[in-house]
Amino acid sequence: MHGVERVWEALRGARRLLVSTHLNPDGDAISSELALDWILRSSGAEISIVNQSPYPDPYRFLPGIERIHLYNGDSYAPFPVLVALDCGRKNRLGDFVGRIECGTVVNIDHHISNDQFGDVNWIDPKASSTGELLLELADHAGVPIGPELATCLYTGILTDTGNFTFANTSPRCHRHASRLIECGADPAEISRYLYRSRSVGKLRLQARLITELHVDEEASLAWATLTREMCDDAGVSITDALDLVTIPLSVDGVDLGILFREFDEPGKTKVSFRSEGDPDVSILARELGGGGHPSAAGCTLEMETDDAVAAVVPWVYDRLGRRSRKPTLAMLRMRHPKGLEA
Ligand code: AMP
Ligand code: MN
Ligand code: MN
C-alpha cells in the first residue's frame, strides 16, 4: 500500500488522537498540525494537539491556532493514535510524549533523515514540506479544501520553501500553491502576517546579529551567535528569533552559514546549518548527533554557546578542508569536538 493509504487506514477510524510536532516548531510544523485537525474535523474524532515548545508569534493568525496546547505537565488519558508531523525522530517531539500512553504511532514527514520511528510511516523526501503531504492526504480522504485548510497548507509550503526560493521549490509545490490560492488562501495577507508585521525590537535584533556576524570570505563560511541576552535586550522571545537563521548564508560568496543559539536552559546550544545543498549539511549535523536536509540541518549540543562555537567552527573548517588566512578566536581555541552528542 502507498504511504498515504496506510496513513489514512490508521487515521480514519480513530476516535481519539494526539497530534504533535518537533521542538521549536516552524511554519510547516504548526501549519501541518492545524491542517490535519481541519482534515479530521468532520470525522468527529477527538483531537488533541500538544507541543512541548511554543510557536513563533507571527503564526497566531493561522485558523485554529487556539487548538494548539503547550504541554504544561497535565496528565492525559491514553491515546489510541499518536500522529507525529514534520519530525525526523521521536525524541524531537520532546520528552512529554514519554509521559503519555499512546497506541499506534503515525509518522508523516519529508526529512530524508527520518528514522521511521512510527508504526505507520509516510516519509517523502521529495515533498517540499509536510504541508504538501497533508494536501495529498486531504485529497485521498475526499475532504474538500476550504479557506482555513488552504491557508494552513499554503503557509506550510510557503515557509518550508523559503517563500518559494529554496532548492525544494518544485513545479509540484507551485501547482499546489496555485490550487490553494483558488481554494481561498490569501498570499498577500499570509505574507503580511509573516513578513511585514515585525516589531521594532525584532528588526533591531536582526541588525545586531548582522553587525556581529563572522564572515570568512576566504573559506566561504559565515556564522553568528544568538544569545538570550541579545533577545532580552531587544524584547524578543528566542522562539520569535528563529527565522534569523538564514542571515549567515545570505552573504555573497558564503556557501555554508551557521547559527549558534543559546537555549533557555543553561548548558545547551542549538546549532543550525544552512547551505544550498553543497556542502550537504545533513551530513555535518548527523555527525554531531542531529539531522535534517542537505540544505538545512541542525543539532543540539550539551555545551555553553561560546564552547560550542569554539568547538564546532574549527571542526567545520577541518571537516570541509577549508583554510582561512585569518584564524578566528574560535580557531585559536581549537579543540576537536569529540563526543559531541545531541
Ligand atoms: P533548524 O536549524 O532548527 O531550523 O533545523 C533545520 C532542519 O534540521 C530541520 O528540518 C530539522 O528537522 C533538522 N534538525 C534540527 N535540529 C535537529 C536535531 N537536534 N536533531 C535532528 N534534526 C534536527
Ligand atoms: Mn519543520
Ligand atoms: Mn517541514
Ligand 1 pocket test, pick from 92, 123, 261 with the greatest ligand atom count within 8 Å of Cβ, gives: 92
Q: Which atom of ligand 1 is nearest to the CA of 242?
A: 4
| Cα–Cα dist 71/32, whole Å | 18
Q: Compute, in angstroms, the gap from residue 113 CA to the centroid of ligand 1.
A: 10
Ligand 1 pocket test, pick from 20, 111, 295 with the greatest ligand atom count within 8 Å of Cβ, gives: 111
Burial class of residue 62 (count of CB atoms within 10 Å of its CB; 0-12, 13-18, 19+): buried
When pLDDT is averaged across residues 161-186 and rounded to a whole number, the result is 96
Closest C-alpha to 288, from 329, 258, 252, 325: 258
If pLDDT is split at 50, 70 and 90, which confidence band does 342 have? very low
CB 269 within 8 A of CB 263: yes
What's the whole-model pTM score?
Answer: 0.90
Nearest CA to ligand 1 atom 20: 290
Q: Which ligand is nearest to the CA of 129?
A: 3
Q: Which atom of ligand 1 is nearest to the CA of 342?
A: 19
pLDDT at 340: 53
pLDDT at 324: 74
Each residue of 3-33: pLDDT tens digit? 999 999 999 999 999 999 999 999 999 999 9
Q: Return the higher-pLDDT residue of 142 and 263.
A: 142
If pLDDT is split at 50, 70 and 90, which confidence band does 341 have? very low
Fold observed for domain 3-195 = inorganic pyrophosphatase (n-terminal core) (3.90.1640)
Q: Compute, in angstroms, the gap from residue 88 CA to the centroid of ligand 2.
A: 9
pLDDT at 260 over 70: yes
What 3-state DSSP class applies to 259? strand
pLDDT at 334: 55
Residue 296 Cβ < 6 Å to ligand 1: yes
Mean pLDDT across the chain: 93
pLDDT at 149 over 60: yes
Q: Compute, in angstroms, the gap from residue 213 CA to the centroid of ligand 3.
A: 27
CATH of 200-335 given 3.30.300.30, 3.40.50.2300, 3.40.630.70, 3.10.310.30:
3.10.310.30
| Domain layout of the chain by residue ranges | 3-195, 200-335
pLDDT at 323: 84
Q: Compute, in angstroms, the gap from residue 273 CA to the centroid of ligand 2.
A: 14
| Cα–Cα dist 235/233, whole Å | 6
Residue with cell 475532504: 143
Q: Which ligand is nearest to the CA of 114?
A: 1
CB 135 within 8 A of CB 180: yes
If pLDDT is split at 50, 70 and 90, which confidence band does 77 have? very high
% residues pLDDT > 70 (the chain): 95
Half-sphere exposure of 183 (CA within 13 A, CB side): 20
Residues 6+ apart with CB under 8 A from 317: 219, 221, 323, 324, 331
pLDDT at 331 over 80: no
Lowest-confidence region among 37-51, 102-116, 226-240, 314-328? 314-328
Nearest CA to ligand 1 atom 22: 291
| Cα–Cα dist 235/256, whole Å | 29
pLDDT at 111: 92
If pLDDT is split at 50, 70 and 90, which confidence band does 75 have? very high
Q: Compute, in angstroms, the gap from residue 299 CA to the centroid of ligand 1.
A: 6
If pLDDT is split at 50, 70 and 90, which confidence band does 42 have? confident
Question: Distances in Å between the alpha carbon of 114 and those of 142, 151, 213, 286, 305?
Answer: 28, 26, 32, 11, 27
% residues pLDDT > 90 (the chain): 88
Residue 248 Cβ < 6 Å to ligand 1: no
CB 105 within 8 A of CB 120: yes
When pLDDT is averaged across residues 309-325 and rounded to a whole number, the result is 91
